[in-house]
């Protein structure tokens, strides 16, 4: 039997997340593995898929459906329910549902694999001396003379540094080229331009 036929049967031809009966598709639950089969797939509607894939389009009320579908016996459905509840946990009720949910250890690892629902404060955010967020590719100007690590060079105050890159492990540092040399720059000594 092919996957679609199996999924149609398993789902009773309705979205396994919200119960919608239109525009149903096979959705391979990420991270997509080689030879993914019915156990790594859910049958779901385009409304759900669009919101899963585009977090900015998430309509909180649509996901009230998880109240039912989180109890699915199918692991792939449980994993997607867990992820969407985690994404929305700050709304309150999704956290209550999450607290009721039980996933086996391996399934929980699978559910967590995409980083869904991780607190934004875990993300490293680089800010300049004024607290303005610096992103990769931005330009900054030095507001202080900076000795360059490992050389006698001093990067002068007022020097602009184009297209900086970020130190992904430390919010205090960015990198950029000054006089053709890639240097580490302390974010609190720059201003974004």
Which residue, 18 or 84, is less far from Zn ion as judged by CB?
A: 18
Place of tokens 């995409």: 114
Q: How far is the CB of 49 from Zn ion (least distance, A)?
A: 8
DSSP collapsed to 3 states, the chain = CCHHHHHHHHHCCCCCCCCCCCCEEEEECCCCCCCCCHHHEEEEEHHHHHHHHCHHHCCHHHHHHHHHHCCCCCHHHHHHHHHHHHHCHHHCHHHHHHHHCCCCHHHHHHHHCCCCCCCHHHCCCEECCCCCEECCCCCEEECCCEECCCCCCEECCCCEECCCEECCCCCCEEEEEECCEEEEEEHHHEEEC
**Residue ranges that bind Zn ion, judged by CB under 5 A:** 15, 17-18, 20, 45, 48
Nearer to Zn ion, 17 or 146 (CB): 17
Smallest separation, CB 106 to Zn ion (Å) = 25
Min dist. Cβ of residue 24 to Zn ion (A): 8
Residues 6+ apart with CB under 8 A from 135: 126, 166
**16 vs 40, beta carbon nearer Zn ion:** 16
Minimum CB distance to Zn ion smaller for 17 or for 84: 17
Nearest distance from residue 33's CB to Zn ion, in Å?
23
Rounded least distance, CB 109 to Zn ion, Å: 25
Distance of closest approach, residue 76 Cβ to Zn ion, in angstroms: 14
The position carrying tokens 């690590």 is 149
Tokens (6 digits) for 103:
């996933």
Whichever of 63 and 110 has its CB closer to Zn ion, that residue is: 63
Closer to Zn ion at the Cβ: 48 or 134? 48
């Amino acid at each position: 039997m092919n996957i679609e036929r199996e999924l149609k049967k398993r789902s009773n031809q309705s979205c396994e997340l919200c119960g919608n009966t239109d525009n149903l598709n096979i959705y391979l639950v990420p991270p997509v593995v080689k030879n993914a089969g019915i156990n790594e797939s859910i049958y779901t509607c385009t409304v759900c898929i669009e919101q899963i894939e585009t977090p900015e389009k998430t309509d909180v009320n649509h996901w009230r459906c998880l109240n039912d579908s989180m109890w699915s016996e199918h692991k792939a459905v449980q994993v997607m329910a867990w992820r969407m509840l985690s994404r929305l946990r700050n709304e309150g009720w999704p956290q209550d549902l999450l607290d009721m949910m039980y996933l086996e250890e391996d399934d929980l690892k699978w559910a967590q694999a995409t980083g869904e629902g991780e607190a934004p404060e875990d993300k490293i955010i680089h800010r300049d001396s004024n607290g303005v967020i610096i992103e990769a590719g931005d330009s900054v100007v030095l507001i202080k003379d900076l000795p360059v690590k490992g050389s006698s060079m001093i990067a002068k105050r007022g020097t602009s540094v184009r297209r900086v890159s970020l130190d992904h492990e430390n919010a205090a540092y960015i990198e950029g080229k000054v006089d053709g040399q890639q240097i580490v720059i302390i974010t609190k000594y720059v201003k974004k331009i």
